[in-house]
Amino acid sequence: MNEVKIFCPASVANVSCGFDILGFCLDKIGDEMIIRKTSKPGINITKIVGENLPYESKKNVAGVSGISLLNELSTDFGFEIEIYKGIKSGSGIGSSAASSAGAVFGINELLGKPFSRKELIKFAMKGEELASGSIHADNVAPVLMGGFTLVRDINSLDIISLPFPKKLFASIIHPEIELKTSDSRSVLKQKVPLKKAIQQSANIASLISGLYTEDYKLISRSLIDVLVEPYRSDLIPAFNDLKKTSSNNGSLGTGISGSGPSVFALSKGEKTAKSVTSEMGKVLVPLNLKFHSYTSKINSTGIKLISSR
C-alpha cells in the first residue's frame, strides 16, 4: 500500500461541563486527506484546498503531528500529504484536530499500523499544541476513537470510550467568524472558586452516568458549564438567544462547541435535532451573519479509510 485517502471528521470538545476532557465525534462533516509514501524522508505537504494554511511542515498541524510520529520510528522514506479542508479553521468543531489526527492515522495505515488508534492520540496532540498553544486531546481523541471519549490523563493516555444513547443527535450552528482557540483560552480564569468546581464536577459525573444509563433527562440536567461558558459566551454572536431557542424547541442542552464560535445542542431523536438546528439558524438571520448549520448523528467509528492503493 503506497497511498491512502481518508475521511477526517469534525468533533465537539468540552460538551459543556467537560472542559478539555470530554468530546464526541460528528458524522459526515469533515476533511479528506490523501497521504502517500515517498522516497524523500520526512513530511511534505504538497496540496491544501479550501483553507489558507502553511505548507511548511513545522508550521502545519498535520506536518507537526506526522513528524512527531516519525520521530518514534526510523524510516528511510517519507510521506506526502494533500489536505482537502471541509472544516473551517477557527470554527470550534475541531478543524486542527481533523488534520492532526488525519496525518497520523494515514501514516500509520501506510506503515502497517504499528500504533493503535489510542496510541496515535499522543502524536496528534502535538498538532493541537501548535494550533492552540496548549496541549489537550478532547478533539483528537473522539476523532481517532469515535463516539464520546473522556480524557482522564494525557500523559499516560488514560482515555476512555464512553457509551451513548443511540437516539442522541447533535445540532451545530457555525457563525462565520473566526475565533482562535488561543484567544478564547486567554479569557479564562486560571483559578476557580471551590463552589463552582464542585458544581462542575457534579455535572460531569452525572453526564457520564446519563450516557451510560441512557438517561436523557439526566443528560439534560447535566449539560451545564459554570467554569468556562460564562467567560466565552460574550465572544459568540447571540449566544443566549441561540440557547433559549434550542431549549424552547426541545433540545436536551446547548453549549459552546470547543472554543467556539460554533454552538452545539444535543437532542433526543433526529426530528427534534433537525428542528433545533433550523430554529437556531433563524436566530442568526436578522444579524446578517453568514452561518453553516448541520444535524449529525454521533459518529461511533471516527476517522476512516476511504480508499487505498
**Of 65 and 181, CB closest to ligand HSE:** 181
**CA distances in angstroms from 53 to 12, 47, 63, 101, listed in the order given:** 22, 10, 11, 16
As given in the structure block, the three cell numbers for residue 38 are 515517498
Active site residue 277: no
- Smallest gap from Cβ 20 to ligand HSE, in A, equals 4
Across the beta sheet with 263-268, the strand order is 253-256, 263-268, 168-175, 291-297
Element (H, E) at 60: none
- 68 is an interface residue for ligand HSE by CB under 6 A: no
Please identify, using beta-carbon distances, which residue of 36 and 85 lies nearer to ligand HSE: 85
Write the binding mask 95 to 134 for ligand HSE: x where contact by CB under 6 A, - elsewhere.
Answer: -------------------------------------x--
Please select the residue that binds ligand HSE; options are 37, 185, 292, 297, rule is CB under 6 A: 185
Query: Residue 143: which of 78, 98, 205 has the closest Cα?
Result: 98
Q: How far is the CB of 236 from ligand HSE (least distance, A)?
A: 13
- Cβ of residue 256: shortest distance to ligand HSE, in angstroms? 8
One character per residue 18-47, x = contact with ligand HSE (rule: CB under 6 A): -xx---------------------------
Q: 181, 245, 272, 277: which is the annotated catalytic residue?
A: 181
Return the residue of 11, 149, 181, 251 that touches ligand HSE, per CB under 6 A: 181
Q: Counting contacts by CB under 6 A, is residue 210 touching ligand HSE?
A: no
From candidates 31, 129, 138, 229, binder to ligand HSE by CB under 6 A: 138
In 3-state terms, what secondary structure has residue 57?
helix
Cell of 263: 454552538
Contact 78, 118 (CB under 8 A): no
Cα(47)–Cα(170) distance, integer angstroms? 31
Q: Is 82 a catalytic residue?
A: no
Among 60, 139, 220, 254, which residue interacts with ligand HSE (rule: CB under 6 A)?
A: 139
Q: Are 293 and 255 in contact (CB under 8 A)?
A: no
> Can you point out the beta strands (E) in the chain?
3-13, 22-38, 42-49, 78-84, 148-153, 158-162, 168-175, 253-256, 263-268, 291-297, 304-308
Q: Does 258 bind ligand HSE (CB under 6 A)?
A: yes
* Nearest approach, Cβ of residue 181 and ligand HSE (Å): 4
Contacts of 63 (CB under 8 A, 6+ apart): 43, 45, 56, 57, 81, 103
Q: Where do contacts with ligand HSE occur on this chain (CB under 6 A)?
A: 13-14, 19-20, 132, 136, 138-139, 181, 185, 258-259
Residues with catalytic annotation? 128, 181
